[in-house]
Amino acid sequence: MKKKVFVFDLDGTLLNDEEKITIPTIEAIKNIHEKGYFIIIASGRMYKSTKFIIKKYLSFLNNIPIISYNGAYVVSHTGEIVFESDIEDSLAIEIIKEIKKENIHVQIYLNDELISDQENTEIKGYAKHSGVNYKIVNNLEEYIKKTHGPTKILAISKVEKLDKLQKMMVSKYSKNLNIVRSFNIYLDFLSKNSSKGAALKKLSKIYDFDISKAYIFGDSENDISMLSLSKNSYAMGNASNHVKDAANHIAPSNNEEGVAIVLKKILSDTHNN
């Protein structure tokens, strides 16, 4: 594939802090789409939540590859599942027990459904933010035993509490799981071979493009695996320093039309070359 490839994270990148994609950003993406460039959305969100955002703001992107669940569920432009990886049942149960021990809210994603055994402000807030419904079961561990391991486990808590949990869980489980922040109050647990970077590598083989030249935009720890793959990677101005260190360029923040500003510059540079 000779055409330019653009990869966008959603929250904190295309979406501003009010969880909206503004008109200048929509117009900038529409512009590259109309030029026939290749676009991929890469989110930590559920697949249906990622689709919800695309439909709401970027409905012209109806045939694009989508990386959801931080790379644990990848779908081609035709809607075909390219990659799907769940956490093994017994390991998922162990993780949930550990999180509950710390008195932290935990929810799982199974068959693209949001499920918890606690109905509280955390799950209500998350469902609202994601534009999806949720299901409450009696006990998550028992539910997994009856079904199968989840695509993702998410712990939600205050930043300091999650910092402590992340440190502990990484030291215990980093050999078996990819444990990464998708937001300062969200800690994601995924199968070891799931990441946005790994998903992007798979898509680059399918669509035959050079990742090192792709324009990649992200803001969170879960974006590092893909930002580090390209010389044209952009960390948003609102990203933390270790995310900025993984990227080759810094864009203005998600509240300053950062993506729109950079896209405008890329297009004018292309035009002038």
Quote the tokens at residue 261.
């500003």
Domain termination site, one of 191, 218, 233: 191
Q: Which domain holds residue 159?
A: 89-191
The total number of structural domains in the chain stands at 2
Residue 273 has pLDDT above 60, yes or no: no
Residues 133 and 186 in one domain: yes
Domain limit, last residue, from 191, 217, 249: 191
pLDDT in tens, 104-122: 999 999 999 999 999 999 9
> What pLDDT was estimated at residue 1?
67
172 forms bridges with which residues in the sheet? none
121, 100: one domain: yes
The predicted-structure confidence for 132-181, as pLDDT tens digits, reads as follows: 999 999 999 999 999 999 999 999 999 999 999 999 999 999 999 999 99
Q: What is the mean pLDDT of residues 176-196?
A: 95
Q: Based on the domain organization, do 98 and 179 belong to the same domain?
A: yes
Instruction: Specify the amino acid at residue 228.
Output: S
68/96 same-domain check: no
CATH for 131: 3.30.1240.10
Any residues with CB less than 8 A from the CB of 84 and at least 6 apart, and which? 72, 73, 74, 151
Torsion 131-161-18-122 (CA) sign: positive
Whether residue 96 is found in the same domain as residue 187: yes
Burial class (CB in 10 A: 0-12, 13-18, 19+), 188: buried
Give me the CATH number covering residue 235.
3.40.50.1000
Indicate the residue among 164, 191, 218 that finishes a domain.
191
